[in-house]
Amino acid sequence: MMLKYLLFSTILLISFNSQATDRALLSPDRVNKISAGELFTDSVAFVSGVSEYNDNWADLPGVERDIDAVVSLLYSKGFKIEKSLNNTKREFENNFDTFLRRYAYNDRGRIVIYFAGHGHTLKANSGKEGYIVFKDAGNPKISKEKFISGSVPMSFFAEKAKEIKANQVLFAFDSCFSGSVFSTMRSIPELIIEILNKPVRQFISSGTENQLVPDDSVFRRRFIDGVNGSADSNQDRVITGSELGQYLQSKVSAYTEGTQTPAFGKMAGYEGEFVFINKDFDVREGEEADPHSSEKEKLIAIIKKNPYSPNATKALIRLREIYESLQNNPPVMQPERKNLKMSAKSVKRTKTSSDENFNMIIPASFSSMIGDYKVVFKIKAKDKQSFKKLNERKYMLKSVMSRRLNESNLQLIDNVVRMRERLRESSTEAVEWVCPGCIDQKPVIAGLMGL
């Protein structure tokens, strides 16, 4: 009997030690030390989009720029990329199947699937089905069959997701639709070993069924910001799919005045977490600056020596002031710093890309034959002085914009493509009336939602 108890105790001790060892490998207090090599042997991405459609759908010229930006982002994070642009439905399915045959069966793989283009929702007896729309899709209001022959339903991706053997898979759709195959989430789970060891199929969409893809993708900009660190809510240098989804939901909705509201979640039965590991946040300790170096070099040396100190925060603020004075632009929240890698924990900041300077968001409502809509325009002033004038006349601009839209016979238009064109023409006229010469390009539609 003594031997039996001794044997049982030994087995129990070995079991507990094994669990403790596993938990030590990726426990919460070691999350910021995780390397991609510990979790994956392969990271691959399939990035696709449609910018040029047949006559039934409005072209989205910004998609090509969006796809290139996402490709650059993922490449910088260590992903191998396959890009597919302006496909018909059949071309997309062939390209996607080829990609999956090549990469989907590595159980230690990490896969991102990203699409930018139109989305649409069809009502069926069983509920709603979301579709992404390809080049050859017909108008669903004219012919449901021709629409389906050129579009891919979310159920297609759900089936493919089940076939994939890779542990972590993230689907990101810069498209608006409902009837999703995933359960939406409202909270972010704690990142622990049990979650990282589980397979996951995470989905993010940029909007819902009554929202239309804008001319200028706010979703893409915030997606890149989020992966680069802005979505790292607990600043552990690991961005999870849930953190990214929550960040996009908050930022895109706020920026577009609620006309675009991303959704995110996981397929049932896949409760893990997709992760981006932000190696770029590693701090490189610098040496003291030479006493004869420039002010910028001294400030950079202060930040590099102790990024968490109050002096580092003051130095970063001073760097912003220097860049503002040199560029004669509004303050850039994350100035370019040569040979410096900043810790996510060092300074709480918002990243702003240079092409977002002098932008203004103006909402308006209007009616058309296809329904009532709320539209949000992004207006880019041509210079700092023009931006100041537009900002001073913002409320006048909102009033004039609404009046112009209601006077532009939008209620006679039954085609979304022509409606978009008329919206941009009317908004341009409104801006020129309120502030002549303040813009040198037409306003773009940053959000469009049916009411």
Residue 223 maps to a domain = yes
Residue 374 maps to a domain = yes
Mean pLDDT of the chain: 76
Number of domains in the chain: 3
Same domain, 288 and 419: no
Cβ atoms 222, 247 nearer than 8 A = yes
Task: Provide the residue range defining the domain that includes 270.
Answer: 25-279
- What is the model's pLDDT at position 318? 72
Cβ atoms 101, 115 nearer than 8 A = no
The residues near 87 (Cβ < 8 Å, ≥ 6 apart) are 48, 50, 95, 134, 135
Instruction: Give the HSE-up count for residue 155: Cα atoms under 13 Å, Cβ half-sphere.
Output: 8
To the nearest 10 degrees (0 to 180), the angle between helices 218-225 and 241-255 is 140
Mean local confidence (pLDDT), 82-101: 96
Residue 9 maps to a domain = no
Same domain, 267 and 361: no
Mean local confidence (pLDDT), 164-187: 76
Cβ atoms 182, 267 nearer than 8 A = yes
Q: What are the CA-CA distances from residue 409 to residues 141, 401, 450 (Å)?
A: 22, 14, 17
Cβ atoms 86, 135 nearer than 8 A = yes
Strand order, beta sheet including 119-124 = 119-124, 127-133, 151-153
375: three-class secondary structure by DSSP:
strand
Look at residue 134 and tell me whether its pLDDT is greater than 80. yes
Same domain, 221 and 318: no
Highest mean pLDDT among 134-138, 294-298, 347-351: 134-138
- Reported residue count of the chain is 451
Same domain, 297 and 259: no
DSSP-assigned states of every residue in 266-328: EEEEEE---EEE-GGG---PPPPPPTTS-HHHHHHHHHHH-TTSHHHHHHHHHHHHHHHHHHT
Tokens of 176: 């608006």
CATH number at residue 403: 3.30.479
Q: How far is CA 154 from the centre of its chain?
A: 19
Same domain, 264 and 337: no
Look at residue 24 and tell me whether its pLDDT is greater than 50. no
- What is the model's pLDDT at position 13? 35
Q: How many Cβ atoms are within 10 Å of 360's Cβ, its own excluded?
A: 18
With cut-offs at 50, 70 and 90, classify the pLDDT of residue 128. confident
Residue 316 maps to a domain = yes
Same domain, 274 and 289: no
pLDDT tens column, 327-343: 444 433 343 333 434 33
Same domain, 146 and 192: yes
To the nearest 10 degrees (0 to 180), the angle between helices 62-76 and 218-225 is 10
Same domain, 294 and 394: no
Residue 197 maps to a domain = yes
Mean local confidence (pLDDT), 381-387: 88
The region of weakest confidence among 84-93, 114-123, 275-284, 378-387 is: 275-284
Dihedral of CA atoms 338, 340, 346, 350 in degrees, nearest 10, equals 40
Same domain, 399 and 255: no
CATH number at residue 200: 3.40.50.1460
Look at residue 347 and tell me whether its pLDDT is greater than 50. no
pLDDT tens column, 184-204: 545 555 555 667 778 999 999
Look at residue 443 and tell me whether its pLDDT is greater than 90. no
86 backbone φψ class: left, alpha, beta (φ>0; ψ -120 to 50): left
With cut-offs at 50, 70 and 90, classify the pLDDT of residue 220. very high
Rg (CA), the chain: 25
Q: Which of 260, 279, 298 is the last residue of a domain?
A: 279
pLDDT tens column, 33-50: 666 677 788 999 999 999
Residue 40 maps to a domain = yes
Tokens of 23: 């938990």
Same domain, 265 and 135: yes
- What is the model's pLDDT at position 244? 95
Look at residue 70 and tell me whether its pLDDT is greater than 90. yes
Q: Which of 231, 260, 279 is the last residue of a domain?
A: 279
Q: Which of 230, 248, 279 is the last residue of a domain?
A: 279
Residue 14 maps to a domain = no
Same domain, 249 and 158: yes
Residue 350 maps to a domain = no
Same domain, 383 and 258: no
